[in-house]
Structure 1
Amino acid sequence: MRVYLSADMEGVTGLVDAADVQPGGRDYERGRLLMAEDVNAAVRGALAAGATDILVNDAHGPMRNLRPEDLHPEARLVRGSPKTMGMLAGLEPGHDAMICVGYHSRAGTAGVLSHSFMGHEIEDIWLDDRPVGEIGLAQATAAALGVPLVALTGDDTACAEAAAWDDSITTVTVKRAHGRFAADLLPVTQAHHHIETAVATALSTRPPTAAATGGEHTLAVRWQSASVAAILPGIPGVTTTDSRTTRATGELPALYRLFGVWMRVAASLTNQAPYC
């Protein structure tokens, strides 16, 4: 069984603040170790379920948060940026299942460190007119490749968002949000136990096969800055619906990759820091 694991950081056990998850932050070094421990708990669960190949993609920020020496020795690591598929780099149809560790809820929610990909620069995202964040877009892209998202860890708002998007996803709540920068934390050892056992169960009971969900989708993004929406229609197939909203239609995962280009353009124009 081949398992793909996308590891974000905001939804990791014990982390609540930008200083926990941004390089140079007061508690970042501690945060990256806690990130590795959550990932390793998921890896142990995958191994218990019979996984023979586990690929971990460092999907947070600069994507150099996980140190190879901290990772479980049975897992391989995709590290660094830029990557053409960003948070889903390395995901391919040959994978039997995907796990998301440390994910967070979308922009506009009261979840811990909630945002959609780019801090406050992205105000809203819609996939086929349905509000979506990093969780839903990851699930939809994986489904287009025939890979089911079977388990996700994060705070209670991220887990609720995942369940609302696809109720077949097994979720593991490691903290309960008290706003964007505070939470009621599950004890670390308990969180790791829950992650390990939930991942093992989710992989053991997953459907034996998953049919790829082809067809076209429409992605729309509302930006904080009108300058971003003014520039992006220079890319073929991109249109605007108002002064700050761009959209494009295409098949996943190509549409996910195109969205990555949009974010590169936006970052070059705005240079906005997240979590403001």
Structure 2
Amino acid sequence: MRIYISADMEGVTGLVDADDVQPGGRDYERGRARMAEDVNAAVRGALAAGAAHILVNDAHGPMRNLLPEALHPAARLVRGRPKQLGMLEGLTGEYDAVLCVGYHSRAGAPGVLSHSFMGHEIEDMWLDGRPVGEIGLAQATAAALGVPVVALTGDDTACAEMTEWDASVATVPVKYARDRFAAELRPDTEARKAIEETVTAALTPAPRRPARSAAGATLAVRWQSASVARTLLGIPGVTADDPRTVRATGPLPALYRQFGVWMRVAASLTNQPPYC
């Protein structure tokens, strides 16, 4: 069994603030160690279920958060950027399941460190008219490759968002949001035991693959800046809904890759910190 882990950071056990998850933050080094512990719990759970190959993609921010020496030796690591598939780099139809570790809720949700990909630069996103963030877009892209997302860890709002998007996915709330930068925390040992046991259960028996579809999807994004939206109109196939909202239609995962280009354009035009 081949398992793919997409590891974000905002939904990691114990982390609640930008200083926990941004390089240079006063608690970032501690945060990246905690990220490795959550990922390692998922790796142990996958191994207990019989995984023979595990690939971990460091999917947060600079994508150099996980220290190779801190990762379980049974897992391989994809580290650094740019990556054509961003948070799903390396995922192919050869994998049997996806685990999303340390994920967070979408922009506007009352969850810990909630946002969609780019802090406050992205105000809203929709996939086929349905509100979406990193969770839903990851699930839809994996499904398009024929690989099921079987488990997700994060705060309770991220877990609820995953359940709303796909109720078949097992979730592990490692903390309970009190506000965007505050949470009630589960004890470390309890949270990581829950991650390990939930992953094992989610992979036993081997998960069923979703039916792959050749149908296209439509992604719409409302940006904070009208200049970002206006610039993106120079990309063939991108159209405007209003001065700050653009959309494009195409098959996943190609549409996911194109969205990565949109974000690089936005980053070149703006200079905002991600959690303001």
TM-score, normalised with respect to structure 2: 0.99
Residue 136 of structure 1: how far off its partner (Å): 0.1
Instruction: Give the distance between the partners of 1:241 and 1:82, measured in 2 at CA.
Output: 29
Residue 272 of structure 1: how far off its partner (Å): 1.4
Structure-2 residue corresponding to 1:239: 239
Structure-2 residue corresponding to 1:36: 36
Structure-1 residue corresponding to 2:260: 260
Structure-1 residue corresponding to 2:105: 105
1:127-166 alignment runs, 5 A limit:
127-166=127-166
1:20-99 alignment runs, 5 A limit:
20-99=20-99
Following superposition, which runs of at least 4 residues in structure 1 exceed 6 angstroms of deviation?
none
Structure-1 residue corresponding to 2:271: 271
Instruction: Give the distance between the partners of 2:266 and 2:179, measured in 1 at CA.
Output: 27
Tell me, yes or no, if the aligned pair for 1:8 and 1:60 is still in contact at 8 Å.
yes
Tell me, yes or no, if the aligned pair for 1:150 and 1:206 is still in contact at 8 Å.
no
Residue 207 of structure 1: how far off its partner (Å): 3.2
The percent of aligned pairs where both chains have the same amino acid is: 75
Segments of structure 1 that go 5 or more residues without pairing to the other structure are none
Residue 212 of structure 1: how far off its partner (Å): 1.6
Instruction: Give the distance between the partners of 2:21 and 2:191, measured in 1 at CA.
Output: 18
Residue 271 of structure 1: how far off its partner (Å): 1.7
Matched length: 276
Residue 206 of structure 1: how far off its partner (Å): 4.5
Instruction: Give the distance between the partners of 1:15 and 1:126, measured in 2 at CA.
Output: 27
Which deviations, in whole Å up to 9, do the C-alpha atoms of 1:149-196 show, x marking residues without a partner? 000000000000000000000000000000000000000000000000
Structure-2 residue corresponding to 1:220: 220
Instruction: Give the distance between the partners of 1:160 and 1:90, measured in 2 at CA.
Output: 27
Instruction: Give the distance between the partners of 2:207 and 2:50, measured in 1 at CA.
Output: 15
Residue 261 of structure 1: how far off its partner (Å): 0.1
Structure-1 residue corresponding to 2:199: 199
Instruction: Give the distance between the partners of 1:182 and 1:210, measured in 2 at CA.
Output: 36
Secondary structure (helix, strand or coil) at the match of 1:77 reads strand
Instruction: Give the distance between the partners of 1:101 and 1:27, measured in 2 at CA.
Output: 20
Secondary structure (helix, strand or coil) at the match of 1:237 reads coil
Which deviations, in whole Å up to 9, do the C-alpha atoms of 1:2-32 show, x marking residues without a partner? 0000000000000000000000000000000
Change (3 A) 1:34 1:131: same
AA aligned opposite 1:248: A
Structure-2 residue corresponding to 1:175: 175
Note the aligned Cα RMSD (angstroms).
0.7
Structure-1 residue corresponding to 2:230: 230
Tell me, yes or no, if the aligned pair for 2:96 and 2:207 is still in contact at 8 Å.
no
Residue 211 of structure 1: how far off its partner (Å): 2.2
Instruction: Give the distance between the partners of 1:211 and 1:33, measured in 2 at CA.
Output: 37
TM-score, normalised with respect to structure 1: 0.99
Secondary structure (helix, strand or coil) at the match of 1:178 reads strand
Tell me, yes or no, if the aligned pair for 2:150 and 2:207 is still in contact at 8 Å.
no
Structure-1 residue corresponding to 2:187: 187
Tell me, yes or no, if the aligned pair for 1:118 and 1:274 is still in contact at 8 Å.
yes
AA aligned opposite 1:176: Y
Segments of structure 2 that go 5 or more residues without pairing to the other structure are none
Instruction: Give the distance between the partners of 1:74 and 1:242, measured in 2 at CA.
Output: 48
Secondary structure (helix, strand or coil) at the match of 1:209 reads coil
Instruction: Give the distance between the partners of 1:81 and 1:174, measured in 2 at CA.
Output: 28
Structure-2 residue corresponding to 1:119: 119
Which deviations, in whole Å up to 9, do the C-alpha atoms of 1:205-246 show, x marking residues without a partner? 343433223311000000000000110010000010100000
Instruction: Give the distance between the partners of 2:206 and 2:123, measured in 1 at CA.
Output: 34
Which deviations, in whole Å up to 9, do the C-alpha atoms of 1:75-95 show, x marking residues without a partner? 000000111110000000000
